[in-house]
């Protein structure tokens, strides 16, 4: 169902009056984790001032260690909902278990499936049975074929609003957190009719690489770019090494806009 052979036109998904999958790239910025109302509001104000329409932030965090911050859960979803109303932003947030989906539907505009859950088939089927747009991230060590099959799981249950997100894969290279597989973008665009995003934060794990990788993503034809922004990354409860602060975010977005004008 997700194959280009099945449908030749690009899938376009409308989220908060923004058309994803056609025209200018979509941007998804926001903190790694929802930590407090004030923290998310500071980022939301900056996103809103740029005329952007989406915000991200994790309420359920799949962390490597059980002793690391696990997210605020439902409380985090409530913060996101309040921010969404106050700033007019659509919320992109990760759901990690089918049992949370029903509850989350009231709070969330786009359900994110994280890399660690790309092959959680029961979760894929459960989000496939909703009509919420889904942002599906590529697994840590998933082939493109496995990634496409994961999207197929979702669509096989009836939900056609799927965005694929390349977020880097695990390789022997240690200079970056993961290896951004930039060629996955045109391959996914050829093989499927779905919008394709690039998450420059989790793929690189390096603030100095966010801008060049975002440019590469746009140049190669990505439909959107995701990056993490936190008012004070040094005290962030997750991913403190790689989030941009607000002034870095301003500079990043300025450069991206200049870059896009060249096209
Ligand atoms: C995230 O985007 O919050 C996240 C945890 O990313 P990934 O699932 O790609 O590691
Ligand atoms: Mn993160």
Q: Is the CB of 114 under 6 A from ligand 1?
A: yes
Pocket test for ligand 1, best of 112, 135, 141 (most atoms within 8 A of CB): 112
Q: Please report which helix (H) or strand (E) contains residue 144, including its range.
A: helix 144-156
Domains identified in the chain, total number: 1
Strand partners, 58: 33
Strand partners, 135: 112, 163
In the numeric block, the tokens 């997100």 are attached to 165
Among 67, 130, 62, 137, CA closest to 97: 62
Determine, yes or no, domain membership for 5: no
Determine, yes or no, domain membership for 8: no
Q: Is the CB of 202 under 6 A from ligand 1?
A: yes
Instruction: Provide the CATH number for the domain around residue 170.
Output: 3.20.20.70
Q: Is the CB of 32 under 6 A from ligand 1?
A: yes
Give the pLDDT confidence score for residue 263 in this predicted structure: 73
Determine, yes or no, domain membership for 7: no
Pocket test for ligand 1, best of 57, 92, 94, 176 (most atoms within 8 A of CB): 94
Determine, yes or no, domain membership for 153: yes
Q: Is the CB of 167 under 6 A from ligand 1?
A: yes
Determine, yes or no, domain membership for 188: yes
Q: What is the pLDDT of residues 143-180, one digit of tens each?
A: 999 999 999 999 999 999 999 999 999 999 999 999 99
Positive or negative, the CA dihedral 197, 198, 201, 207 is negative
Q: What is the rounded CA–CA span in Å between residue 13 and residue 20?
A: 5
Determine, yes or no, domain membership for 6: no
| DSSP 8-state symbol, 138 | P
Q: Which domain holds residue 62?
A: 13-261
- How far does the centroid of ligand 2 lie from the alpha carbon of residue 201, in Å? 7
Assessment of whether the complete model's pTM goes beyond 0.90: yes
Q: What is the pLDDT of residues 193-214, one digit of tens each?
A: 999 999 999 999 999 999 999 9
């Amino acid at each position: 169902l997700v194959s280009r052979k099945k449908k030749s036109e690009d899938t376009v998904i409308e989220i908060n009056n923004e058309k994803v999958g056609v025209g200018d790239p979509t941007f998804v910025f926001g903190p790694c984790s929802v930590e407090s109302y004030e923290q998310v509001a500071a980022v939301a104000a900056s996103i809103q001032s740029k005329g952007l329409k989406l915000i991200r932030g994790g309420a359920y965090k799949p962390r490597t260690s059980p002793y690391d911050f696990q997210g605020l859960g439902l409380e985090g979803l409530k913060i996101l909902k309040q921010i969404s109303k106050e700033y007019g932003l659509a919320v992109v947030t990760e759901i990690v278990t089918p049992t949370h989906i029903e509850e989350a539907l009231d709070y969330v505009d786009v359900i994110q499936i994280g890399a660690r859950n790309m092959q959680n088939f029961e979760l894929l089927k459960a989000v496939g049975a909703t009509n919420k747009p889904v942002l599906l991230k590529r697994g840590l060590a998933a082939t493109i074929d496995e990634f496409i099959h994961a999207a197929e799981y979702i669509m096989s249950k009836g939900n056609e609003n799927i965005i694929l997100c390349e977020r880097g894969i695990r390789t022997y290279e240690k200079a970056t957190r993961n290896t951004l597989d930039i060629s996955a973008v045109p391959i996914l665009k050829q093989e499927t009719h779905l919008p394709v995003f690039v998450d420059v934060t989790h793929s690189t794990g390096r603030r100095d690489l966010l801008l060049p990788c975002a440019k590469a993503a746009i140049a190669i034809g990505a439909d959107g770019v995701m990056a993490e922004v936190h008012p004070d990354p040094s005290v962030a409860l997750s991913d403190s090494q790689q989030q941009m602060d607000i002034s870095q975010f301003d500079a990043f977005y300025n450069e991206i806009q200049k870059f896009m004008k060249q096209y």
